[in-house]
Amino acid sequence: MITMIRRAMERRRLTVVTLAAAAHLSASYLYSVLAGDRRVSTRGALLLAGPLGTTARALLVAQLDDDLASVVTTQQEASQ
């Protein structure tokens, strides 16, 4: 999901500050999301979707996919 946000930002030539302003979110929230320190909330996804040219659902599904991949990797490493 972080990759999805960064690619959309690049395509639209958005900085963290301009995206945060367009989405009515704080830049610190967005920096935390992009650093992987925070998850995107449903509200955050709804606000980010428009400026990124995607849907809230797509952002949340990407986040879920990342979460599932992380769990599978952790389980595989634990079983070795």
User: What pLDDT is recorded for position 34?
Assistant: 97
CATH number of the domain encompassing residue 60: 1.10.260.40
Q: How many domains does the chain have?
A: 1
Per-residue pLDDT band for 3 (boundaries 50, 70, 90) equals: very high
Which pLDDT tens digit goes with each residue over 60-75?
999 999 999 999 988 8
Q: Is-contact 34 52, C-beta < 8 A? A: no
Q: Which range marks the domain in which residue 11 is found? A: 2-78
Which pLDDT tens digit goes with each residue over 18-70?
999 999 999 999 999 999 999 999 999 999 999 999 999 999 999 999 999 99
* Euclidean distance between CA atoms 36 and 50, whole angstroms: 21
* Euclidean distance between CA atoms 17 and 36, whole angstroms: 17
Burial classification of residue 52, based on how many CB atoms lie within 10 Å of its CB (0-12 exposed, 13-18 middle, 19 or more buried) = buried
